[in-house]
């Protein structure tokens, strides 16, 4: 079942996402800075940060256990695994269950579970608050995400992300207009899952308002580097999914695998990802963070668009 082609897929797909994800995150920062009239960081800032953090010493809180020590590695592994589910260069044959959207969602949920547990592990009140908020939010967001996945499955007639993208890449978006509705949901899920404004403030210095930053507050050195990189990969994976559904052109089928094709697909992914990152930056700049208890209304919008899609698909 594991063929040479699937090994090649794993290397290329995970490699490209891993390589480009810090760039996308920095582009968002840059756009936000420009909107505020600031210069913003250089485009490669996050790469420099990661290199810097990797060479720094790691400090653990006295109360922490093995959870704190393993979480960064687990998170990184989870995100790389999740990256295999979303083809951005070419679409291989399904192998070993890779590609199932339900599995994909719960692999990400496992990562979130580990981060929340580790937030409690360090024993600081901010980590605890962050974890408690993350868990309250995920209790509301999980049903929403499942409905979004269900909507995708209804429209494209499959639970396999590989098959979904191979369908969208040959079909015209005009023949499946409901995909536009799902894309709205997917975009909101992308914002929510990557802890961005209006749900959470990724640049916060305010320990009392933090959700995601609160949980990773106690990390240092290479552990912090892994946590930040895995967060960037998570964002890139969701971006890849949205791109694959909405603008899949350029992603090649396994049958016509050639070096120039791979390069073109990679460049196209870079361009599409950058454009999406700019859109995220503009979206974030356009509003303030929501009150914590009104965040579920945002989930409701995502839920609404997906539920609407299912209704249209079933009854139309």
Residues 278 and 31 sit within 8 Å (Cβ to Cβ): yes
> Closer to another protein at the Cβ: 90 or 283?
283
Q: What is the binding site for another protein (CB under 8 A)? A: 32, 35-38, 125, 129, 133, 197-198, 201, 203-209, 285-294
Tokens read off for 110: 């496992």
Q: Which of 285, 292, 247 is nearest to 265 (CA)?
A: 247
Q: How far apart are the first and last CA of the chain?
A: 39
> Closer to another protein at the Cβ: 23 or 197?
197
Report the nearest approach of another protein to the CB of residue 286 (Å): 8
Report the nearest approach of another protein to the CB of residue 197 (Å): 5
> Closer to another protein at the Cβ: 175 or 288?
288
> Closer to another protein at the Cβ: 27 or 148?
27
Report the nearest approach of another protein to the CB of residue 195 (Å): 12
Report the nearest approach of another protein to the CB of residue 277 (Å): 17
Query: C-alpha distances in angstroms, 132 versus 86, 116, 147, 189, 222?
Result: 30, 8, 24, 20, 25
> Closer to another protein at the Cβ: 170 or 208?
208
Backbone angles phi, psi at 91, to 5 degrees: -105, 115
Report the nearest approach of another protein to the CB of residue 210 (Å): 8
Within 10 Å of residue 12's Cβ, how many Cβ atoms? 19
Report the nearest approach of another protein to the CB of residue 98 (Å): 37
How many Å apart are CA 129 and CA 268, to the nearest integer? 40
> Closer to another protein at the Cβ: 110 or 292?
292
How many Å apart are CA 154 and CA 17, to the nearest integer? 27
Report the nearest approach of another protein to the CB of residue 138 (Å): 16
> Closer to another protein at the Cβ: 183 or 285?
285
Report the nearest approach of another protein to the CB of residue 298 (Å): 11
> Closer to another protein at the Cβ: 104 or 283?
283
């Amino acid at each position: 079942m594991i063929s040479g082609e699937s090994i090649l897929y794993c290397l290329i797909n995970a490699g490209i996402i891993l390589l480009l994800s810090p760039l996308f995150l920095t582009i968002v920062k840059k756009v936000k800075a420009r909107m505020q009239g600031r210069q913003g960081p250089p485009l490669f800032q996050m790469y420099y940060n990661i290199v810097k953090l990797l060479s720094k010493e790691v400090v653990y809180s006295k109360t922490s256990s093995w959870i704190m020590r393993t979480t960064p590695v687990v998170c990184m592994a989870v995100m790389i695994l999740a990256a295999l589910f979303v083809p951005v260069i070419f679409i291989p044959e399904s192998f070993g269950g890779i590609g199932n959207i339900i599995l994909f969602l719960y692999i990400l949920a496992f990562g979130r579970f580990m981060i929340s547990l580790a937030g409690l592990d360090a024993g600081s009140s901010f980590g605890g608050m962050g974890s408690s908020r993350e868990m309250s939010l995920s209790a509301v967001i999980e049903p929403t995400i499942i409905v979004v996945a269900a909507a995708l499955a209804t429209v494209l007639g499959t639970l396999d992300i590989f098959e979904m993208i191979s369908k969208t890449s040959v079909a015209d978006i005009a023949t499946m207009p409901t995909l536009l509705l799902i894309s709205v949901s997917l975009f909101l899920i992308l914002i929510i899952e990557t802890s961005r404004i209006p749900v959470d403030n990724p640049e916060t210095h305010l320990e009392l308002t933090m959700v995601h930053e609160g949980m990773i507050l106690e990390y240092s050195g290479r552990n912090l580097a892994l946590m930040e990189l895995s967060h960037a990969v998570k964002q890139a994976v969701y971006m890849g999914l949205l791109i694959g559904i909405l603008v899949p052109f350029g992603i090649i089928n396994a049958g016509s695998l050639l070096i120039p094709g791979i390069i073109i697909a990679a460049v196209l992914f870079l361009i599409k990802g950058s454009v999406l990152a700019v859109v995220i930056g503009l979206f974030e700049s356009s509003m303030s963070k929501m009150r914590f208890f009104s965040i579920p209304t945002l989930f409701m919008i995502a839920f609404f668009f997906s539920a609407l899609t299912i209704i249209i698909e079933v009854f139309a």
